[in-house]
Amino acid sequence: MKPSPNKAFDDIVDRLKISLGPLGEFTEVDTLSVGNRKYPLIKIVLGKGNPRRILISGGIHGDEPSGVETICSFLENKLYKNFLDNWEFTLLPCINPSGFEVGTRNNQDDIDLNRMFREVTAPQEVNFVKTVLDQPYELDLELHEDIDSPGYYLYQKDKSAELSSLGRVILDQVESIHPLNLAEEIEEVPMDRGLLSRLSEPDEMEWWPMALYAFTRGCNHVFTLETSPALPMAVRVKAHLLAIQTALNQKERKP
């Protein structure tokens, strides 16, 4: 089956630039060439120099557009503004632009970028993300969707000895607008009302997703957040936006 094309990536770039205005820093860190097409690999920073740092990313899987839409909407609605006293935001709106444009999970070379973070020789898009992770973040929120899931769920990994309550709090909030996935496990990992705690240690895994790489780079709280494409786009975006705001509000309360 031919994948359905997403909105052109150029439209996304335009929306990001217009909504950001002069407030933040829009950087084309690298350029990805696919045939005659060139895609910028984009990093946006808001509140530069603030003491607390959060990374929010979307579109590492090109067929999961709600993460990309969420970052556009986050900027368009200026949802960062209550947090700009303390937080420096780094946004990676679309890590896999060629996959996004044609609606495929993998990139132009049919590589799943989110399996490549342990490779010494990694694709250009992965190297771009690794550069961004040179400095540790307190919070890393990775926006995904899962075509096989009837509801929202998340993977949580954090540095504290005991799992923090943050993942549970996020899900309790999101449940008011987006049903949770209530399965007891996903891919043999036990799940508690949408919460998966990744207990595996980085050294035990053959391949690393971005989340595990971020964890090894010193991120204190790493979340992989998954919506269900069975729900309308507006609901999925709203759920991801609520997850982001809940995580920030909780961290403000309990530094």
Task: Give the nearer residue to Zn ion in terms of CB position, either 24 or 123.
Answer: 123
Measure the CA–CA gap between 176 and 230, rounded to whole angstroms.
17
Measure the CA–CA gap between 10 and 3, rounded to whole angstroms.
19
Query: Smallest gap, in angstroms, from Cβ of residue 144 to Zn ion?
Result: 3
Q: Which spans of this chain sit near Zn ion (rule: CB under 5 A)?
A: 61, 64, 144
Task: Give the nearer residue to Zn ion in terms of CB position, either 53 or 105.
Answer: 105
**Quick one: which H or E segment has residue 225?**
strand 221-227
Task: Give the nearer residue to Zn ion in terms of CB position, either 144 or 240.
Answer: 144
Query: Smallest gap, in angstroms, from Cβ of residue 224 to Zn ion?
Result: 8
- Minimal CA–CA distance to 142: which of 181, 110, 94, 103? 94
> For residue 200, with 0-12 CB atoms within 10 Å meaning exposed, 13-18 middle and 19 or more buried, which class applies?
exposed
Query: Smallest gap, in angstroms, from Cβ of residue 83 to Zn ion?
Result: 25
Task: Give the nearer residue to Zn ion in terms of CB position, either 91 or 211.
Answer: 211
Query: Smallest gap, in angstroms, from Cβ of residue 25 to Zn ion?
Result: 27
